[in-house]
Amino acid sequence: MHDIRAIRENPAAFDAAMARRGVENASSEILKIDEARRAAIHAAETAQADQKKAAKEVGAAKAKGDEAEFERLRALVAEKKSEVAAMQDKAKELDKALEDALMGIPNLPFDDVPDGADEDDNVEVRRWGTPGEFSFAPKEHYDLAGVIPGMDFEVAAKLSGSRFVVLRGAVARIHRALAQFMLDTHVEENGLTEAWTPVLVKEDMMYGTGQLPKFGEDSYQTTNGWWLVPTAEVPLTNFVNGETVDEASLPHRYAAHTQCFRSEAGSAGRDTSGMLRQHQFEKVEMVSITHPDASRAELDRMTDCAQGILEKLGLPYRTVVLCTGDMGFGARRTHDIEVWLPGQNTYREISSVSVCGDFQARRMNARFKAPGGKPEFVHTLNGSGLAVGRTLIAVLENGQQEDGSVVLPEVLHPYLRGKTTLTAEGTLV
């Protein structure tokens, strides 16, 4: 959420930044609501002062025995009391209208974010590894002989419908090993604190991180009002919801492995084959809560953490900076990491790391305070470290052999009790 004072003081700068995100004249309606709100507050305060003044004069008139003046003033007090209540209600309505308007506007992009309309305008900033050369036509993950016994879309469709999968046997074990490897790396090497969180959260937690009110259709809500998390970003970031933490405790760095749930509204026909785009999937999510002065550097640090997982797995990738038209609602700058998938002969997103500045912190009222200082809003960041299912796809496709078996990355061997290969029959050896 934005600071109304900053918009009020420099609407031209705000509008220019929002125009880069395709939102024209963003300040106009907001400032109209703000002006009406401030007028209502002033009117309520003026009426309240008149009420207090008349109330004092009532006693004086009574003491003087001036019955007519007493009755007049008493009627005035009652009138002003009603007027104050009406003005306060109006101010509250306009305050809510202003909050709703501010919550519906995306974050301001950093100056160094490239301008653009969509993913075609993203800018590549790093490339690691060389896509492997195959002496045969590489297949997509779901067509590999060794994968077919352990990746069942038909049973999943019977259980739950389209865009679900059942993993069995060796494939399920590799999937689990990947998640454990990611968590161990982030905790032991990257200095993140592991957390285990609920996947059902209250509605105000979804408002805090920006999934609501604008993107409610992208998530699932239960009949009693809970929301299934689209990512562990929601519970992890909301650890500081309503809190004022000590400046010395920053940064707070977390990693959590959770189930994630997304309705994928509006994505019909996109990436529906295999495991690439599912309603239920797993991610190891990273979240950092930082001092404002440290958040930009933290973005690069978190990007390195995600890239490091792919490098340990030996998976070629590229990193791009998202342009203004492709960046997420709450981000000020986003680095997407795209892994090479030989079955599709292209790079596909496997991690998105974003710095949000104080955008989420204002929604959550999350602050820090130095001794003797005033409370200030923290900065928040989030990123995948990594999407487990998509990493599984990349491991299977990049390690595939002509017979349909898969040579597995060396770093996974200890998590598979020394097993190194998924055979063409679907077993681990």
Beta bridge partners of 194: 255
Structure tokens at 152: 């069942």
pLDDT for residue 55: 77
pLDDT for residue 65: 74
- Surface-to-core class of residue 413, CB atoms within 10 Å of its CB (0-12 exposed, 13-18 middle, 19+ buried): middle
pLDDT for residue 250: 98
Exactly one of 21, 163, 173, 262 is catalytic; name it: 262
Structure tokens at 161: 């419908």
For residue 425, which of 399, 406, 398 has the smallest C-alpha distance? 406
277 classed as catalytic: yes
CB 413, CB 134: distance < 8 Å: no
Residues in the chain: 429
pLDDT for residue 266: 58
State the virtual CA torsion across 357, 383, 102, 110 in degrees, nearest 10: 50
pLDDT for residue 268: 54
Per-residue three-class SS string for 139-204: CCHHHCCCCHHHEEHHHHHHHHCCCCCEECHHHHHHHHHHHHHHHHHHHHCCCCEEECCCCEECHH
Exactly one of 79, 83, 349, 376 is catalytic; name it: 349
4-34: burial string, b at 16+ Cβ within 10 Å, e else: beebeeebeebbebbebbeeeebbeebbebb
pLDDT for residue 218: 94
Exactly one of 219, 390, 397, 405 is catalytic; name it: 390
CA–CA dist 325, 82 (Å, integer): 49
CB 278, CB 404: distance < 8 Å: no
Exactly one of 352, 354, 363, 367 is catalytic; name it: 352
- Surface-to-core class of residue 390, CB atoms within 10 Å of its CB (0-12 exposed, 13-18 middle, 19+ buried): buried
270 classed as catalytic: no
Ranges of residues in the chain with a pLDDT under 50 are none
Q: Which residues are annotated as a binding site?
A: 231-233, 262-264, 285, 349-352, 382, 384
Exactly one of 74, 277, 318, 348 is catalytic; name it: 277
Per-domain boundaries in the chain: 4-103, 119-422
390 classed as catalytic: yes
Scan for tokens 């994630």, then name that residue. 260
CA–CA dist 259, 179 (Å, integer): 11
352 classed as catalytic: yes
Sheet containing strand 220-221, edge to edge, reads 200-201, 227-228, 220-221
Domain 4-103 has CATH 1.10.287.40: yes
Mean pLDDT over each residue of the chain, to the nearest integer: 94
Q: Which residues are annotated as a binding site for L-serine?
A: 231-233, 262, 285, 382, 384
What is the DSSP secondary-structure string of 390-411? Answer: HHHHHHHHHTB-TTS-EEPPGG
| CATH number for the segment(s) 119-422 | 3.30.930.10
Structure tokens at 368: 């820090």
5 classed as catalytic: no
CA–CA dist 361, 244 (Å, integer): 11
Structure tokens at 330: 């709450």
User: Over the stretch 174-231, which tens digit does the pLDDT of each residue have?
Assistant: 999 999 999 999 999 999 999 999 999 999 999 999 999 989 999 999 999 999 999 9
Beta bridge partners of 195: 256
CB 168, CB 148: distance < 8 Å: no
Q: Which residues are annotated as a binding site for ATP?
A: 262-264, 349-352
